[in-house]
Amino acid sequence: MKEAVRPLITAEDIARRVGEIAADISRDYEGKTVTLICILKGGVIFMVDLCRKLTVPVEFDFIDTSSYGDATVSSGVVKIERDLKNPIMGKDVILVEDIIDTGLTLSHLYKHLIAHNPASLKVCSLLIKKDRWVVRDINPDYVGFEIPNEFVVGYGLDYAQKYRNLDYVGVLEFLEG
């Protein structure tokens, strides 16, 4: 089977929305330092673009989870592959997510991070698929785009480690032939 990517969100729309989210965060955290925790690997490009537009001091760390493998749907089992390197106790933390699909990863990580006693914990996601949410105990505080229930790639999101380098978000389609 061949793969094709149908554009869904342009690079220009992403850049505009990332700037708007950064302005909101900068306003909300004025006079404070914000700690961004990026979920690897998909959230890296979003976090980098976001932190470069923030006007408040920024620290960041990374956490790595797995629930997809090389599939196009979540397995439903969230596993932490790499935990934080730095303590977040007493810090204002924003969990930076590439996409909220079922909500399972978000719920799992939110509980994991809240156990580390941050001063505050908010969630920022580039994309959300509300139609797919299974776990609705956490709502993101900052959202880029709500998208339909399609498998997307680009701007950090991948399929079998491919397509992360696209500067836009597109729907992955499988073609005969």
Q: Which residues belong to the active site?
A: 101
Q: Where are the alpha helices (DSSP H) in the chain?
A: 11-28, 44-53, 104-114
CA 76 to chain centre: 17
For residues 70 and 157, what is the distance between their CA atoms, to the nearest angstrom?
A: 12
Write the CA distances from 141 to 28, 72, 84, 96, 123, integer angstroms: 11, 26, 21, 11, 5
Tally the residues of the chain: 177
